Structure 1
């Protein structure tokens, strides 16, 4: 974690020199709606059946922006993310966890207000839901949640004086779970990737 943060800070410092024509720093906070989805059927074919159920969480932190019309925007964000699964008897089990996100977005401004942006995000688990796997009957779950996840974000933003309104979608490249099953077929049945929508309001200093 320390090495990754150091690399991110170095990247921000380097970019500030190479794109000195524009610099902005600010804070943003808001709400997200997250879920985990998979193609596998779990134990009874309905494991990921809660299509309309999303977990509500907080998201917020610091962002920086380098450039004017074309820009690079690294961020350091704390986010609550989760999901819902369906058990053998139809009961829903929800989990929510806290992550440290480092998105690095590239974007373009359309006029003076509208922004379009997209880029990768590295996500690190800092507070897991210890009771989730116990409720599923999985005892050996110390490493059940993946500690680092690679993903992507894309969305639109609006700059109104010092206010920064952002609406984005985030998806995962690798699975949220990291369970060592006895065979690959069983592992695929429970594999799931996270996704979320979020809205934040920020302020530029």
Structure 2
């Protein structure tokens, strides 16, 4: 009798988990977090990592354990290059494709996809720049690729991502690209 109940419980749990992954779903929420930015420059520049912020909206469409997650958020990316502090404020639009495993309010996700960044502000402050000839001339739109993983606990999600710059960040002859890590906390509204 005990084996029958255990077998029945396993079958019901398996059916519930598989059904939860098959049914199409839509989720929508808000997110916020921080990033750590590095500006890679082929050649002469030395850069240091600096913290920034992000905040915005996300949506997730999924079925059969796979999902599509478009997002839009405002982000601040800060770097220091040759005593020049540069702060980029942009609207980033990632289009992520991934998968999810788990059930009963707990799950693990993995994803990857392209990101388009639209610059809103490109501030530069010169601390010791009297003899510095470095001028950072940044583009208004850039492309990158994100990959990462996340954990869902009921309506909360925690994500860790790496973003690799695909396009040059500025108009100079070198290859200047932004790379960053971001850690975010999201809340599902529905």
Q: TM-score under structure 1 normalisation?
A: 0.72
Task: Determine the structure 2 residue equivalent to 1:126.
Answer: 120
SS state of the match for residue 111, structure 1? strand
Question: How far is 1:138 from its partner?
Answer: 5.7
CA contact (8 A) 2:85 2:125 kept: no
1:7-34 per-residue CA deviation (whole Å, 9 max, x = no partner) reads: xxxxxxxxxxxxx921000000000000
SS state of the match for residue 37, structure 2? strand
**How far apart in 2 are the matches of 1:75 and 1:160?**
20
Task: Determine the structure 2 residue equivalent to 1:6.
Answer: none
**How far apart in 2 are the matches of 1:146 and 1:93?**
17
1:135-185 per-residue CA deviation (whole Å, 9 max, x = no partner) reads: 44467x7xx111100111100011100001110000111111124xxxxxx
After TM superposition, list the pairs within 5 Å mapping 1:63-82 onto structure 2. 63-68=58-63, 69-82=65-78
**How far apart in 2 are the matches of 1:36 and 1:138?**
14
Runs of 4+ in 1 over 3 A off after TM superposition: 134-139
Q: Runs of 5+ in structure 2 lacking a partner?
A: 1-22
**How far apart in 2 are the matches of 1:111 and 1:61?**
25
2:26 to 17, 23, 36: 23
Aligned length: 160
Question: How far is 1:84 from its partner?
Answer: 2.0
**How far apart in 1 are the matches of 2:113 and 2:134?**
35
CA contact (8 A) 1:55 1:96 kept: no
Task: Determine the structure 1 residue equivalent to 2:38.
Answer: 35
Q: Runs of 5+ in structure 1 lacking a partner?
A: 1-19, 42-46, 87-91, 180-186
Task: Determine the structure 2 residue equivalent to 1:145.
Answer: 138
Q: TM-score under structure 2 normalisation?
A: 0.78
1:168 to 161, 174, 178: 161
Task: Determine the structure 2 residue equivalent to 1:114.
Answer: 108
CA contact (8 A) 1:157 1:164 kept: yes
**How far apart in 1 are the matches of 2:94 and 2:35?**
15
When the two chains are superposed, the root-mean-square deviation of aligned CA atoms in Å is 1.9
CA contact (8 A) 2:87 2:124 kept: no
1:40-73 per-residue CA deviation (whole Å, 9 max, x = no partner) reads: 12xxxxx22x4xx211111110000001410000
